[in-house]
Structure 1
């Protein structure tokens, strides 16, 4: 499986590109500058964008959506975060003095899996960073958004965040995956192994 990462935007957000039989699957596209746009175009080239998957609705994870949408592209987001796409107060773009509103119409995630081409992504609810935060598990690759990061977790003090929801999500995720080998692909920072996070991440090792 070919997975590539670009780190883009004002807050160094990770955008992931997965080769599929029909083109590319993109997770959390961030395009904030002309340099970001050029880097993404070089990555995409002339490949069709089959689907865009959003782990949550903050501006740095959705800013590239309209740039990448094509006629047959399907945009997926949780129902609880769909309003972030059109509300700068919710998506946080007001903090960088922009009013980001996505024009593309999303497909709401309404089950625990998404099938794209020959791939099946398991959808894991991870509320805490936002109410509608989700992770996408593809085989042993977990695209985790701003839920768990290398040695840390996502902040809970933004619109829609909840420290209680985050705590419960961490407990649930740990119980589900503590005996499984999975790689975590976070929204910021380095890719890591969940087994390493259990040992060294203070937000997980104490739970």
Structure 2
């Protein structure tokens, strides 16, 4: 919650417009606060890869334990494809489909930075033992990400 408040403060202070709410994947721990964020930024478009919708519908016990209703996210406005680019001001963001942790995991690359979701971690990779996970797909995704410039800074999570 502290991180969210910090970002909201910056958005307000800098008078920024939130155009998209990008989802790297739809595990509950990454989307539980989306409903509230959408209420704060009703014009922002909710975006994910279409393959993630199946993950959302199959959260099973995790959704029950945390009393999360997948329907609370509402509808997605944009379905992101591999290599799709988004321009936000002077910033160009490239989506990189990176399945394995989930079937539709997406990483976002911009200015020698990578937002890796749960695909890459410091000295490790994401789990593949949840619904839709695949170690062989994750291995392919990691190899693909390793083709990025060596100076790329990775922000996991």
Structure 2, unaligned runs of 5 or more:
none
TM-score (normalised: structure 2): 0.81
Q: Does 1:52 align with 2:6?
A: no
Secondary structure at 1:72 match in 2: coil
- 1:40 and 1:172 map into 2 onto residues whose CA distance is 30
| Residue 105 of structure 1, aligned match among 75, 78, 96 | 75
Conserved in 2, the CA contact under 8 Å of 1:51 and 1:116? Answer: no
Change (3 A) 1:55 1:91: farther
2:35 to 66, 80, 86: 66
Alignment root-mean-square deviation, CA: 2.2
Q: Which has the higher strand share?
A: 1
User: Where do residues 118-129 of structure 1 align in structure 2 (5 Å cutoff)?
Assistant: 118-129=90-101
Mark the CA change 1:125 to 1:110 in structure 2 (over 3 Å): closer, same or farther: closer
Alignment: residue pair count = 147
Q: Is the 8 A contact 1:59 1:92 kept in 2?
A: no
Compared CA separation, residues 39 and 167, structure 1 to 2 (3 A): closer
**Alignment map for 1:85-164 (pairs within 5 Å):** 85=56, 87=57, 89-90=58-59, 93-94=62-63, 96-101=65-70, 102-106=72-76, 107-110=78-81, 112=83, 113-164=85-136
Rounded Cα–Cα distance in structure 2 between residues aligned with 1:52 and 1:61: 12
Counterpart position of 1:41 = 5
In 1, the alpha carbon distance for the partners of 2:20 and 2:91 equals 11
Higher relative contact order (CA 8 A, sep 6+): 2
- Structure 1: which 5+ residue stretches go unaligned? 1-35, 188-207
Q: Secondary structure at the match of 2:24?
A: coil
Which deviates the most, 159-168 or 92-101?
92-101
